[in-house]
Chain A
Amino acid sequence: MVWKTLARHFISHPAPPCKANDAAVAALRQRLAAAGHKKLGRSLAIRHVAAGSCNGCELELRATQNLVYDLTQYGLSFTPSPRHADILLITGVAGGNMLTAVRQAREAMPEPVLVIAVGDCAVDGGVFKGSPAITGGADSILQVDLVVAGCPPAPAQIIEGLLALLEVNDTAPRPVRVPR
Chain B
Amino acid sequence: MKLLSSEDWQAYPGKFIALWTDAHYAYALYQPAELVATLLVNGAYPALSHKGAGWFQRLAHDSNGHTAIGATDTRPAIEHFRSSDGTASWPEFSSPSGEGIHQVAVGPIHAAIIEPGHFRFSLRGEEVLKLEARLGYSHKGTLALIRGKSPRLAARFAARVSGDATVAHGIAFAHAAEAALGVTPPERAVYLRAIMAELERLANHGSDIGAIAGDAGFSFLDARFAWHRETLCEAAKAAFGHRLMMDMVIPGGVAGDILLGGMAAILAALLALESELPGLTRVFEDYASLQDRLVGTGIVPPQLAQAYAAGGFTGRASGQNHDARVSPGYAPYEHFGLEVPVEQDGDVAARIRIRLAEIIESIRFIRDMLTNLPDTAIVIAPPSGSGSGVGVAESFRGPVWHWLRIESGTIADVFIADASTLQWPLVEFAATTAILADFPLINKSINASYSGVDL
Contact = CB atoms under 8 A, between A and B. Distances in A.
Interface of A: 1-2, 5-6, 9, 13, 48-63, 65-68, 78, 80, 92-93, 95-101, 105, 127-128, 130-134, 151-152, 154
A96 B112 CA distance: 22
Interface stretch (B26-34, B82-90, B124-132, B429-437): B82-90
B139 interface: yes
B87 A100 contact: yes
Shortest beta-carbon contacts, A-B, top 9: A56-B163, A133-B141, A80-B111, A131-B141, A54-B163, A66-B226, A54-B160, A99-B86, A55-B163
Contact of A66 (B87, B163, B166, B229): B229
Nearest to A49: B109
B260 interface: no
Interface stretch (B13-21, B97-105, B276-284): B276-284
16 contacts: A1-B279, A1-B282, A50-B115, A50-B138, A56-B160, A63-B226, A66-B226, A80-B111, A97-B82, A97-B137, A127-B145, A132-B141, A132-B144, A133-B140, A134-B140, A154-B243
Contacts of B87: 99-100
Contacts of A48: 113
B45 to A, nearest CB: 25
Nearest to A93: B140
Contacts of B109: 49-50, 101, 105
A159 to B, nearest CB: 13
A98 B78 CA distance: 12
Interface of B: 78, 80, 82, 86-88, 108-109, 111-116, 136-142, 144-145, 156-157, 160-164, 166, 207, 220, 223-224, 226-227, 229-230, 233, 237, 243-244, 246, 276, 279, 282-283, 449-451
A36 to B, nearest CB: 29
Contacts of A57: 163
Contact of A101 (B111, B116, B207): B116
A139 to B, nearest CB: 16
Nearest to A67: B227
Nearest to A129: B145
B451 A9 contact: no
A67 B226 contact: yes
B244 A66 contact: no
Contact of B244 (A53, A105, A152): A152
Contacts of B111: 80
Given A2-B220, A66-B223, A152-B163, A97 B80 contact: yes
B140 A51 contact: no
Contact of B164 (A59, A61, A97, A134): A59
A98 B142 CA distance: 16
Nearest to B138: A52
A63 B230 contact: yes
B451 A55 contact: yes
Contacts of A132: 141, 144
Nearest to B118: A101
Nearest to A155: B230
Given A52-B139, A128-B141, 10 more contacts: A9-B227, A49-B116, A54-B163, A62-B207, A63-B230, A96-B86, A100-B86, A127-B145, A128-B145, A132-B141
A80 B157 CA distance: 31
Contacts of A51: 116
Contacts of A134: 140-141
A63 B233 CA distance: 10
Contacts of B229: 63, 66
Contacts of B279: 1, 5
Contacts of A101: 108-109, 116, 137
Contacts of A50: 109, 113-116, 138
Contacts of A131: 140-142, 144-145
A89 B233 CA distance: 23
A63 B449 CA distance: 18
A80 B112 CA distance: 7
A1 B142 CA distance: 47
A9 B224 contact: yes
Nearest to A47: B109
B49 to A, nearest CB: 30
